[in-house]
Homo-oligomer: A and B are copies of this chain.
Amino acid sequence: MKKVCIVGCGAIGSLYAAHLARVAEVWAFVRREEHARALNREGLRISGKHQFQVSIRATTQAKELPQFDLGIVATKATQVEESIVDVGVHFDEGAVVSAQNGLGSEEIIAGHTRGQIIRGTTFMSGTRHSDTHVQYELDTATWLGPFEPRNTPHAIVNEVAELIVAGGLQAEALDDARPAQWSKLIFNSSVNGVSALTGLPHSPHFADESKMSSLGHLLHALIEEGKNVAAVAGIQLHEDPWEMNKIGAKTNHPPSMLYDIRHQLPTEVEFLSGAIAREADRAGVPAPLHTAVYRLIKGKEASWNFKDENQDATHGKPA
């Protein structure tokens, strides 16, 4: 039986852990002692699209872990570094899938393991009701593909996709994962950035282009800019991010960066608009809008720690 470790058990990590536990020996590596204890005691319950209960093993201590055939890193992009630093060696003889939003997680993982690295992009979603209960919602594929700097063999990508499918989730092995990763990158950067700055969830405003001031024009321009950077980087997109935006705008779904902003948590902007801005800079192509979104969100993060006694005065303000 294969040994699998899920690093980070939020909604997405829990969905992988529970499904894979039906066909493999699954460990969860988590940060909170209480979380590990609850998982060891109660296992994981999935409701919604799939309904079952499984036992898994969980720990906060890397030294308790065996060598794994497969790891799936399912933390936020901002937490990959701290999560992988101690467990990376446990994948040295196996493979590791990155399941983060945006660009840059694979490079961080590669710095801490000699294992094979697989680019993962997923659109599955779930609602996390507790440490041990996740409701499965969007039953969509995880796209898997090689991490080019290490020439990940296609056979290994295939094997991982088959294991995930055997567990009951959808997965697809691709010869090149970047078209899928960039489609989601461009979609996510544009939608998360605008949502975080306006406070709006992914609502019909995001596809409205009826007036000059309409937000849909900005989404369209952000997406076009991202597509242009992708084209210059030699990447043909897997799906059109504008079409993805039009569908998402009907859901009123709160993007994760809106959640982060509301709770004053570090956002993934470095891996989203920040990554597009850096890729554009490297390629010598302009990306003024993603660069602006990047700087505004960094400014927003800075505002949480900025305190000044003048903050609520009304200098020069006509009433």
Binding site for B on A (CB under 8 A): 8-13, 74-76, 99-100, 124-128, 137-138, 194, 197-201, 203, 205, 212-215, 217-218, 221, 251-254, 256, 259, 262, 274, 277-278, 281, 288-289, 291-292, 294-296, 298-300, 302-303, 306, 308, 310-319
Q: Which residues of B contact A9 (CB under 8 A)?
A: 319
The 9 closest A-B pairs by CB, nearest first: A10-B319, A125-B316, A198-B299, A10-B318, A199-B303, A252-B308, A218-B295, A200-B303, A213-B298
A49 to chain B, nearest CB (A): 13
Chain B's closest residue to A286 (CB) is B288
B residues near A99, Cβ cutoff 8 Å:
318
Centre residue among A125, A313, A318 by max chain B CB count within 10 A: A318
- CA A8 to CA B318, docked complex, whole Å: 8
A292 touching B292 in the complex, CB below 8 Å, given contacts A198-B302, A277-B212? yes
Q: Is the CB of B128 within 8 A of A197?
A: no
A312 cross-chain contacts in B, Cβ below 8 A: 254, 262
A308, B203: Cβ atoms under 8 Å?
A: yes
* In contact, B217 and A295 (Cβ under 8 angstroms): yes
* Chain B positions within 8 Å of A278 at CB level: 212
Instruction: Identify which of B127, B221, B296, B319 contacts A315 (C-beta below 8 A).
Output: B127
Which residue in chain B gives the minimum CB-CB distance to A135? B315
| Inter-subunit contact A198/B318 (CB<8 Å) | no
Chain B positions within 8 Å of A126 at CB level: 315-316
Option from B8, B124, B138, B197 in Cβ contact (under 8 Å) with A296: B197
Shortest distance from the beta carbon of A302 to any chain B beta carbon, whole Å: 6
Q: Is the CB of B295 within 8 A of A11?
A: no
